[in-house]
Amino acid sequence: MFYFIPTWNQNHTDWELEFLEWYYTTKKMEFDDTVNQLMMFNQAKEKNKTIILEYAPMLRDFLQRQDLYDIDYYSIFDDLQDTKVENVRPIDPFEFDWPKNVKFIYMPFNILAEVNRKLYAQIISGNLGQLQRINFFEEDKTTKTYIFDDRGFLSSVVRFNGDGQFEEQIFFNLAGEWRFKRLSSEEVIINPLFRDEFKREKYAAMRELIEEKYNEFAQENITKDDVIVIASEKRHNQRILNAKKSGRVILSIFSQRLNIEQDFPDETELAKVDVIVVDTQQNEKLVQEKLNAMNVSIPVLQIPPFDSRLRLGKSQRIKELKIFVLVDKTPLAELEIIIDEISKAMYKDTKINLMLGAYAANQEATGKLDKLKEKILNRLNLTEEEIEAIEKAENQIESEIDKELIKKARFFRRITFYRIESESEWIKELNFVRLIIDMGKDMDLYLQIAGISAGIPQINSTPSPYVENYKNGMIVPDVLEIKEAINYYLVGLKHWNQALVYAAGKIVQYSSDNLISLWNESLELATAEGEKLDE
């Protein structure tokens, strides 16, 4: 059995998974190495279980977004709160015991409850419409927050003092009885009614309570022949690797989660690790250097975390040649040069379309999108209002001058200014992209993973572990040479097909079955070396 222990928390704490309101976005992609590994193990029908250590009342929402809804998992907090339930039931917030004179006001992003024309509560829903949270107010200050589990029950209540500062968080079971509470001092108090289910009456921090339950689970379920795959993160490593070892351990390092230079495990923690998996060649080199410096011998595997939600070759199904340009990390002046070259190609070939993309949460990047739109309109000597008017009157236009305006309007409509709101929506867009351009000095990791997962060639300014020159993309250090790279992949299908075949080979190389074989071979090697040292 393979046990996966992810770390999906984006919070400042090390024990809870933060879920923003559905209308907020984050610069960070949710996809990571563990998501990839779980997808591959499920595809291979290899027996596995995921151990969720974080408090995650909206866990099913997250798993659904990552196509992992059917995974087998054990949740520490389901155990701690006694909330093991599989059935999902909807909660109607209007059935609660509201004041008689309450008035509900439907806003674009939530529902407000007013009493005597004063804000009384704020009802917040999740991505799928399920009740996520209710904030209560007095004199415009938050007094308490009800946090709901996406399976349909009240999970915890957060209380605040008169100054709006955190006071305590109370965790409930399915019967509405409080099991334990976290105080402002971070101390955790156990309800005396359930004292016999815990080893202590109180804990210095939530971390200690989680570690206690994890150790119990590991001792009761994980054998020496099982494999534990740990998503490496500083706090996560300390929590798991400092516990009594159960089974064989694979440490999985993902670039956007662990700073190898600063937070690499020490010798004591590494003593419990059998194999290390990294996502890039650069990380493989860094890890090997760290191990050599400590005189520690552990097999290191470099396995790219492909996103199997993307499929190869879908852009062949449409006649348009869609170019995606990520603007976030590329200077505005260079973007103008890139757009100018693509525009020339668009005038020659009407099948070429351009998508300029930026993370919605990155205000600087979305500001670039606005500036680029303005510059393109200025070059066309038109406004958006004028373009709309031209489109409406297109059937009545006969003069040559007006026909030229139609061409300009149609050209502008072939350019999309795309704000990346969510990972799932972006995946849909990338499925039909023919070429990716990211000329930032620090390329976007997820975009590169997505590119190779979908077999889309990429043009970058600096070398990368995921893009090999003239194989699945081109490295163009000087933006003035971008024209040659664009033509290389858009003029004819030969080079584009070569990139697709190369990407397909890479994905096959790290397919579900091969991934499992690589891990098992490395574990056997580590076991054999360990036995030699024991002799």
Q: What is the pLDDT of residues 156-170, one digit of tens each?
A: 999 999 888 999 999
The per-residue pLDDT for range 286-295, each reduced to its tens digit, is: 999 999 999 9
In this prediction, residue 415 carries a pLDDT of: 96
Check: CB of residue 326 under 8 Å from CB of residue 440: yes
Q: Is residue 403 scored above 80 in pLDDT?
A: no
Kindly report the backbone phi and psi dihedral angles of residue 321, in degrees, each rounded to the nearest multiple of 5, phi listed first. Answer: -105, 95
Q: Is residue 27 scored above 60 in pLDDT?
A: no
- Classify 405 in phi/psi space as left (phi over 0), alpha (psi -120 to 50) or beta: alpha
Q: Is residue 93 scored above 80 in pLDDT?
A: yes
Strand order in the sheet with 188-190: 102-106, 111-115, 118-125, 131-138, 141-149, 153-160, 166-172, 178-183, 188-190, 202-203
Check: CB of residue 345 under 8 Å from CB of residue 435: no
Q: Is residue 394 scored above 70 in pLDDT?
A: no
Q: Is residue 483 scored above 90 in pLDDT?
A: yes
Which token pair is 171? 């965790």
Nearest to 440 by CA among 522, 334, 297: 334
Least confident of 16-30, 111-125, 428-442, 449-463: 16-30
Q: Is residue 29 scored above 80 in pLDDT?
A: no
- Rounded alpha-carbon distances, angstroms, from residue 16 to 9, 57, 76, 87: 6, 9, 11, 23
Check: CB of residue 1 under 8 Å from CB of residue 48: yes
The per-residue pLDDT for range 310-326, each reduced to its tens digit, is: 777 677 777 889 999 99
Angle (nearest 5°) at CA 32 between 29 and 37: 150
For strand 227-231 and strand 2-5, is the pairing parallel, antiparallel, or unpaired? parallel
Distance between CA atoms of residues 416 and 8, nearest Å: 32
Least confident of 185-189, 321-325, 504-508: 504-508
Q: Is residue 532 scored above 60 in pLDDT?
A: no
Average pLDDT, the chain: 89
Q: Is residue 426 scored above 70 in pLDDT?
A: yes
Q: Residue range 174-186: average pLDDT?
A: 96
Q: Residue range 207-223: average pLDDT?
A: 93
- DSSP category for residue 32: -
Question: Can you give the pTM of this predicted structure?
Answer: 0.85
The per-residue pLDDT for range 296-354, each reduced to its tens digit, is: 999 999 888 888 777 776 777 778 899 999 999 999 999 999 999 999 999 999 999 99
Q: Is residue 531 scored above 60 in pLDDT?
A: no
Distance between CA atoms of residues 177 and 310, nearest Å: 44
Q: Is residue 30 scored above 80 in pLDDT?
A: no
Kindly report the backbone phi and psi dihedral angles of residue 49, in degrees, each rounded to the nearest multiple of 5, phi listed first. Answer: -145, 140
Residue type present at position 397:
I
Q: Is residue 28 scored above 70 in pLDDT?
A: no
Q: Residue range 244-273: average pLDDT?
A: 89
Q: Residue range 489-516: average pLDDT?
A: 86
Helix (H, G, I), strand (E, B) or coil at 173: coil
Angle (nearest 5°) at CA 301 between 5 and 472: 105
Rounded to the nearest 10 degrees, what angle do helices 512-534 and 33-43 cross at?
110
More confident position, 242 or 529: 242
Q: Is residue 395 scored above 70 in pLDDT?
A: no
- In 200-331, DSSP assigns E strands to 202-203, 227-231, 248-253, 275-278, 300-302, 321-326
- Rounded alpha-carbon distances, angstroms, from residue 362 to 25, 218, 257, 370, 438: 9, 41, 19, 13, 16
Which token pair is 163? 């100054």
Q: Is residue 61 scored above 90 in pLDDT?
A: no
Nearest to 326 by CA among 448, 160, 195: 448
Q: Residue range 1-13: average pLDDT?
A: 85
- The helix (H) or strand (E) run that includes residue 112 is strand 111-115
In this prediction, residue 421 carries a pLDDT of: 83
Distance between CA atoms of residues 535 and 335, nearest Å: 62
In this prediction, residue 170 carries a pLDDT of: 98
What length does the chain have? 535
Q: Residue 270's CB: how many other CB atoms inside 10 A?
A: 19
Strand order in the sheet with 352-359: 415-420, 352-359, 321-326, 435-438, 458-460, 473-475
pLDDT band per the 50, 70, 90 thresholds, residue 529 = low
At a CB cut-off of 8 Å and minimum separation 6, what does 295 contact?
A: none
